[in-house]
Amino acid sequence: MNIEQLKYIVEISNAGSLKTAAQKLNISLPALSQSVTKLEKELSITIFHRSRKGTHPTGEGKILIQKANGVLEKLQAFFDEAEKFTHTLKGELKIATFPGPLDLLADQITLYKKDFPFTKASIEEDNSQHIIEKVIKEEVDIGFILYTEEDIKNNKNIRFHKLYNGCMVVAVNKKSPLANNSYITEKMLENQPIILYNDHSILDFVQNLDVLEHKMEILFTTNNVETIRYALERNTAINIGYDYAFKTITGLANNNSYVTLPFVDTIKNNYYFGYIYPAHKGITQVTKEFLKRLT
């Protein structure tokens, strides 16, 4: 048994397929299959059930994969500790973020690079659901997202670290009759033209509102916050979204032409802002040093 085999079984478990895992690990499918079979023979345990529908852990396999995750995390911690003795931090930091904290993160990366010039850093913008997928596929080291309890339940192979509690709000032009209210009820949303940011948590929240579908006038969804700002300024639509967005996103925050209103207390609309990373991989020293600047 070797470390590579532990990485293999963890990746297969995450992928649910030998073929997908082989592509991710950049090795041939026969080589991966032979390595896992060899490990199973060595341990005298069947780690995976293999079928046309995919490759999934057995009961014993789930326990061993969980232990393998722990070993790999400790190994990463070992390398991180060894790196400290070199007094020179090296490596790559790949970040994905939803639009809100983009400016803040870009500023921090600039300062980070001054302190650690031998590191490489990149940052990309996307919606929260796509970022979750990128973290699972290990296309990025860490993702900054807005998420709900449902996201935590549905993604056991990533770790969630909360930085901020938030809630959904309704943004309306100051000239809108809705602006005179201190809170918003579902009834108030009937026949209101609505524009939504294309985010799965926002869309799910709106779909679960107790408003008849034919009375919900959803004009369209968009990934462009400038489009939302434009509609709000001209009073052509209202917006349902994260309160965090109106505090941080350039173009939405500090705008005097519209206001944000909370939902009535009976409507459950909480969410979290934080960062995520692969559960089995842990956080590298390069990433840890960057996160120290944010917490």
Q: Tens digits of per-residue pLDDT, 155-197?
A: 988 999 999 888 999 999 999 999 999 999 989 998 899 999 9
165: left (phi over 0), alpha (psi -120 to 50) or beta: beta
Q: Rounded mean pLDDT of the chain?
A: 88
Query: Which candidate, 139, 140, 161, places its Cα nearest to that of 152?
Result: 161
Residue 144 pairs in a beta bridge with 97, 275
Highest mean pLDDT among 103-107, 132-136, 206-210: 132-136
Going by pLDDT thresholds of 50, 70 and 90, the confidence category of residue 77 is confident
Report helix, strand or coil for 87. Answer: coil
Residue written as token pair 């963890």: 10
**CATH 1.10.10.10: which residues of the chain?**
3-84
pLDDT at 44: 93
pLDDT at 180: 94
Going by pLDDT thresholds of 50, 70 and 90, the confidence category of residue 94 is very high
Provide the 8-state DSSP code for 175.
T
Going by pLDDT thresholds of 50, 70 and 90, the confidence category of residue 84 is low
- Is the confidence at residue 86, as pLDDT, over 70? no
40: left (phi over 0), alpha (psi -120 to 50) or beta: alpha
pLDDT at 179: 95
- Is the confidence at residue 266, as pLDDT, over 80? no
What percent of the chain is predicted at pLDDT more than 70? Answer: 96
| pLDDT, average across residues 271-284 | 87
- Is the confidence at residue 136, as pLDDT, over 80? yes
Provide, for the chain, the percentages of residues in helix, strand and coil under a 3-state DSSP scheme, each rounded to the nearest 5. Answer: 45, 25, 30
Give the CA radius of gyration of the chain. Answer: 23
* 258 alpha-carbon distance from chain centroid: 29
CATH domain 91-163+273-291 topology = D-Maltodextrin-Binding Protein; domain 2 (3.40.190)
* 219 alpha-carbon distance from chain centroid: 27
Pairing of strands 91-97, 119-125: parallel
Residue written as token pair 């400790």: 74
CATH domain 165-270 topology = D-Maltodextrin-Binding Protein; domain 2 (3.40.190)
Write out the two tokens for 4: 């590579």
Give the separation between CA 89 and CA 162, rounded to whole angstroms.
Answer: 26
- 3-84 — its CATH code? 1.10.10.10
Residue written as token pair 């509690």: 165
Q: What is the pLDDT of residues 2-42, one digit of tens each?
A: 999 999 999 899 888 898 889 888 899 999 999 999 999 99
**CATH 3.40.190.10: which residues of the chain?**
91-163+273-291, 165-270
- Is the confidence at residue 223, as pLDDT, over 70? yes
- Going from the C-alpha of 145 to that of each of 7, 45, 126, 224, the distances in angstroms are 27, 39, 9, 17
Going by pLDDT thresholds of 50, 70 and 90, the confidence category of residue 251 is low
Going by pLDDT thresholds of 50, 70 and 90, the confidence category of residue 275 is very high
pLDDT at 91: 84
